[in-house]
């Protein structure tokens, strides 16, 4: 009798991390990975000065197939952490790649919904963002709100697609190989 082959990781979620040692809800990521064997997380430490890397190493040793990490020696900001993680995830050959905020401002069970929408066959990308709805309270500085609206309008014009609610995205899922080529390939595959 031989061991069953490991499950194929179809979706890789990049989680940018900076000084998250005490804030990262790691138990939620472990539990989600355990119940979703085709989803992997790639935590990207962005030059943290606390013990975030040690936490990520423990997660990796607990589940090396689904809980991986990259370490960036110097802090380059959230966008660069997301970009480098997405590039690495694409290079791994995953069917779907995306990113998620480390604080889980968007709960992990939303991965299932975004995956289902993306799997409809008509979309290349789905984005989750905070939208103020009746009965919901979102704390946001006014300047950030207006800058987000300006960004959404400019992106809408440049891309030729409506982005009415893209103020600040906390979650994104897309199909690799369908973009405009703005992401350059990564030299080192992750082995997912």
DSSP labels, 68-108: EEEEESS---HHHHHHHHHHHHHHTT-SEEEEE-TT-SS-T
In this prediction, residue 43 carries a pLDDT of 97
Lowest mean pLDDT, pick from 74-78, 90-94, 128-132: 128-132
In this prediction, residue 184 carries a pLDDT of 35
* Number of separate domains in the chain: 1
Q: Determine, yes or no, domain membership for 56.
A: yes
| pLDDT class of 179 with cuts at 50, 70, 90 | very low
Q: Determine, yes or no, domain membership for 153.
A: no
Q: Determine, yes or no, domain membership for 117.
A: no
Comparing C-alpha atoms, which of 79, 72, 41, 89 is closest to residue 188? 89
70: containing domain: 1-106
User: Residue 65: which CATH number?
Assistant: 3.90.550.10
Q: Determine, yes or no, domain membership for 131.
A: no
Residue 104 above 60 pLDDT?
A: yes
Q: Determine, yes or no, domain membership for 163.
A: no
Q: Determine, yes or no, domain membership for 162.
A: no
| pLDDT class of 185 with cuts at 50, 70, 90 | very low
Q: Determine, yes or no, domain membership for 87.
A: yes
């Amino acid at each position: 009798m031989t061991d069953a082959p490991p499950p194929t990781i179809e979706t890789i979620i990049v989680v940018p991390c900076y000084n998250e040692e005490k804030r990262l809800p790691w138990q939620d990521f472990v539990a989600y990975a355990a119940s979703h064997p085709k989803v992997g997380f790639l935590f990207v430490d962005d030059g943290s000065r606390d013990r975030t890397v040690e936490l990520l190493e423990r997660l990796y040793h607990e589940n090396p197939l689904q809980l991986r990490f990259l370490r960036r020696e110097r802090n380059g900001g959230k966008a660069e952490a997301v970009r480098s993680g997405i590039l690495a995830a694409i290079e791994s050959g995953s069917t779907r790649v995306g990113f998620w905020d480390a604080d889980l401002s968007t709960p992990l069970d939303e991965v299932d919904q975004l995956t289902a929408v993306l799997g409809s066959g008509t979309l290349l990308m789905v984005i989750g963002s905070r939208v103020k709805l009746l009965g919901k309270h979102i704390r946001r500085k006014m300047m950030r709100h207006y800058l987000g609206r300006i960004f959404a309008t400019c992106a809408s014009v440049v891309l030729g697609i409506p982005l009415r609610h893209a103020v600040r995205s906390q979650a994104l899922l897309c199909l690799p190989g369908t973009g405009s080529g703005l992401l350059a390939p990564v030299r080192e595959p992750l082995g997912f």
